[in-house]
Amino acid sequence: IAMYAAKKVPGTVRLHYDCGMTAVLVDGGQLRAAIDGDHLRVHFQPIVPLGGGRPTGVEALVRWQHPEHGLLTPDVFLPAAERTGLIVPIGRWVLRTACHRFAEWTLTHGTAAPASLHVNVSARELREPDFAGFVAATLAESGVAAERLVVEIAETELMQAPAPLTAVLADLKALGTRISLDDFGIGTASLTLLHEYPFDEVKLDRSITRTAVDGRPSMAATVLQLARALDLHAVAVGVEQARQADRLWSLGYPAAQGYLFARPLPAEELAVWLTACAQVPITA
């Protein structure tokens, strides 16, 4: 951290690190080079049932293995990717890579493999002509069943989209994929969106998960009631403490994701994690 802080590298965009420090670079050229140089990675974070048992899903999260700056998280480079349109080839690469890995785990881990693969997409990606066609082709090529794929789209993406994304989301639903409303609860048009689009799931924003602590009136509870009323699956994102997991479970949340269970992991490490999970006997 001190090294980054001391190193005053000039650049147009500030990088945000997990620890809150800001530093260096990122323009389209560097990002293009990262794509061409094969420096992007996909990490996977398990989604677990709060009642115990094996992971039900896994979320693909893009990373940039930077030769100088180490592993960069998406907040550092996705804004530049969106600005330059490079998010489209990046998103396609992430989907293909994630589908192939997912297909492998299904073969190697059988019933211990996660049942669903979650992939994030932005509005920009959804607006590409025949996005659903690309998804269909990728599923076919990797052998992943459409029902296994959950396309996550953030609330803010849907709200800022200049034209409604109704048609493309309907096409995705027609394929059989599921649609998840990500970062749910922080936008101002949440309710409108829930009625406008055919969601299967909501993912509780991390900032709301953080407030799920015993004894306090909780927005997490409100969101869950809403999800239930609309017959949507609910996942609480960003669970870091056992007391949050307990609280969310007692509220009735079926599933969660967070550092308490596992951080986003490279594919090889996730495979090890899955093997370890498979060795834990499941008690009902």
What's the CA gap between 43 and 72, in Å, rounded? 12
State the binding partner of 114 from ligand C2E, Mg ion, none, CB within 5 to 8 A by kind: none
State the binding partner of 200 from ligand C2E, Mg ion, none, CB within 5 to 8 A by kind: none
Stretch that binds ligand C2E, among 47-55, 136-144, 185-193, 238-246 (CB under 6 A): 238-246
What's the CA gap between 152 and 118, in Å, rounded? 7
Q: Between 69 and 108, how does the x/- string for binding to ligand C2E read (CB under 6 A)?
A: ----xxx--x------------x--x--------------
Strand partners, 118: 59, 150
Candidates 186, 109, 115; CA nearest to 148 is 115
Instruction: Using the minimum distance from each CB to ligand C2E, give the nearer residue, 38 or 284.
Output: 38
Among 105, 114, 152, 209, binds Mg ion (CB under 5 A): 152
Contact 47, 32 (CB under 8 A): no
Amino acid identity, position 56 = T
What's the CA gap between 277 and 113, in Å, rounded? 10
- What are the structure tokens assigned to 101, written together? 């890995």
Among 5, 214, 259, 272, binds ligand C2E (CB under 6 A): 259
Contact 117, 159 (CB under 8 A): no
Contact 155, 194 (CB under 8 A): no
Interaction of residue 182 with ligand C2E, rule CB under 6 A: yes
Interaction of residue 177 with ligand C2E, rule CB under 6 A: no
Q: Which residue has the tokens 């989604």?
A: 47
Shortest distance in whole angstroms from residue 135 CB to ligand C2E: 13
Q: Which residues between 19 and 58 bind ligand C2E (CB under 6 A)? A: 45
Among 125, 155, 157, 182, binds Mg ion (CB under 5 A): 182
What's the CA gap between 219 and 214, in Å, rounded? 12
The torsion angles phi and psi of 62, rounded to 5 degrees, stand at -75, 145
Instruction: Using the minimum distance from each CB to ligand C2E, give the nearer residue, 156 or 171.
Output: 156
Query: What is the contact surface with ligand C2E in residues (CB under 6 A)?
Result: 45, 61-62, 73-75, 78, 91, 94, 120-122, 152, 154, 182-183, 206, 237-240, 257-259, 264
Query: What is the contact surface with Mg ion in residues (CB under 5 A)?
Result: 120, 152, 182-183
